[in-house]
Amino acid sequence: MPDDPRGALRWSLSKVRQLVNQPDDERLSADRERVSLLMDGVEIDVHQISQQLKRERLSLTELEALLSSLEEPFLDGIDLVEEQIFQQWLTAERREVIRLQGKALKQLVTHPEADIERRLHWARQWADIEPMSPDSATCLLSELKRHGYMQDVADLTQTYTDRFRNAGIAWSHDSVPSNPTEKHRRRDLLSQQKIAFCQAEDGVQLAYATVGKGSPIIKAANWLSHLEHDWDAPIWSPLFRELATEHRFIRYDERGNGLSDWNVDDISFESFVSDLEAVVEATAIDRFSLLGISQGAAVSIEYAVRHPERVSCLILFGGYDAGWRVDATENVIAEREAVMTLTQAGWGRDNPTYRQIFSSTFMPSANTEELAWFNEFQRLTTSPENAVRFLSVFGDIDVRDKLAQVSVPTLVIHSLGDCRIPASVGRNIAEQIPAAEFVGLDSDGHLLLGRESASRAFVDAVKAFTKRHA
């Protein structure tokens, strides 16, 4: 490089021109007074990323790619500490890159297709790079709460409270929804869900819903359900959302329940099976994975025996092959019928005492908020009369003689501490179905709470099994 300033400048410009100029396109303009870069047609990666992050409904893959680009060092090794103006510009640009990282992480952690573990990872990452952001703090606390890490929530709440108060930043964890990102995902899935109606053999109108893309999973109806209110559930909403990330997920409301007809003449096991047949025909899907939960497991077993050519694989959770009246003692029958009498008397009342009988056995580890939600959900989804009819039908279910006839790949999943249907029932089903696999979950719930680790294990097991047998 020449020693004199002008010579050094000319030498530097000759090198820069080789980098920025294109054939027939002179981008570097210089005269005796100034040097300028002509920006027409120049694409700057950071500006492109900023524009892309303004788009709606970016996929997870797109967002992860943008985040990966933003994590590359910005103008690494270009610091000129003695050039104050340049260094101030460089510092500002690097801060802008961090801001864009935060924006990408926020979209990732609130994305409806993001799974629970990656959301927590991204929430931590967002809080690390933007420690003074109230939004990142609230998001991380919400994700920790969703995982059940309550001690971490308590510790971090105090840390953030002190940090923001000392900095003069308005923030209160108590003033925001306990899980705003969760509500966003529920609203998004509810808007994507397509509800349609079909008729059963006897003319009953059945409501069914489809959401997601990929190999189809049809879930046999189980009591209770509501195609819209389900997305607010602390129980199955997280499971449904995870399944909808990789599958076309179809479910329906049982007759007498949810959005399907309530005033029906026939509520029986045979009607449950024929309703599933009607929904399958309405979807026009040739082959699918069939998921049965609780009494929906028996319905699924019966369907798989009748239509093995339609079922690529069968997944049963918390199922039973024989109802409570089958081979029961007089005392057991008397107890169950007493519960039915209480149900008839108190199901529709505002006082949840009667419905609490079911809630406490379905999910013993639920907190007060979760129990309150389920108590109210029960009241909204069916009438007292239908609730009694359902309970009576469940008592007479008996598909024990069908287990050996199941010829499709079968996965039986059961909570090892299930208080309503013992795990031994699930193990027996797996032993009786040829070549069936059994997975025990570390849970006491007949219904899984979305925040417990067993929910993640359930989803992982279902996804792995359906991939093997799609």
Integer angstrom CA distances of residue 454 from 220, 275, 315, 373, 459: 21, 30, 16, 20, 9
Give the β-pairing of 35-37 and 247-252: unpaired
Tally of domains within the chain: 3
Encode pLDDT of 406-461 as tens digits: 999 999 999 999 988 999 999 999 999 999 999 999 999 998 888 788 888 999 99
pLDDT tens digits, one per residue of 260-274: 999 999 999 999 999
Single pTM value for the model: 0.63
H/E element holding 251? Answer: strand 247-252
Q: Are residues 202 and 127 in the same domain?
A: no
Q: Do 47 and 99 fall within a single domain?
A: yes
Structural domain includes residue 83: yes
Same domain, 291 and 384: yes
Query: Quick one: 211 and 163 in the same domain?
Result: no
Query: 138 and 244: one domain?
Result: no
183 in a domain, yes or no? Answer: no
Residues 134 and 102 grouped into a single domain? yes
Positive or negative CA dihedral for 77, 82, 86, 89?
A: positive
Same domain? For 168 and 231 the reply is no
404 within 8 A of 418, measured Cβ to Cβ: no
**Residues 397, 367 share a domain:** yes
| CA pair distance 173, 193, nearest whole angstrom | 31
Residues 210 and 348 reside in one and the same domain? yes
Domain-located, residue 187: no
Q: List, for residues 272-305, the tens digit of each pLDDT value.
A: 999 999 999 999 999 999 999 999 999 999 999 9
Asked if residue 338 and residue 234 are part of one domain, the reply reads yes
**2: helix, coil or strand?**
coil
DSSP for 181-224, please give it: HHHHHHHHHHHH-EEEEEE-TTS-EEEEEEE--SEEEEEPP-SS
Closest CA to 106 of 192, 188, 177, 181: 181
Domain CATH for 229: 3.40.50.1820
Q: Are 257 and 224 in contact (CB under 8 A)?
A: yes
Domain holding 5, by residue range, is: 1-42
Q: 297 with 329, same domain?
A: yes
Cα–chain center distance at 316: 20
Round to whole Å and give the CA distance between 299 and 400: 12
Hey, what amino acid is at 347? W
Assess whether 169 and 224 both reside in one domain: no
**DSSP per-residue codes, 84-142:** HHHHHHHHHHHHHHHHHHHHHHHHHHT-TT--HHHHHHHHHHHHHH-TT-HHHHHHHHH
Q: How confident is the model at residue 348 (pLDDT cuts 50, 70, 90)?
A: low
- Residue 293 amino acid letter: I
Range scoring the smallest mean pLDDT among 342-346, 354-358, 464-468: 354-358
User: Distance between CA atoms of 9 and 78, rounded to whole angstroms?
Assistant: 18
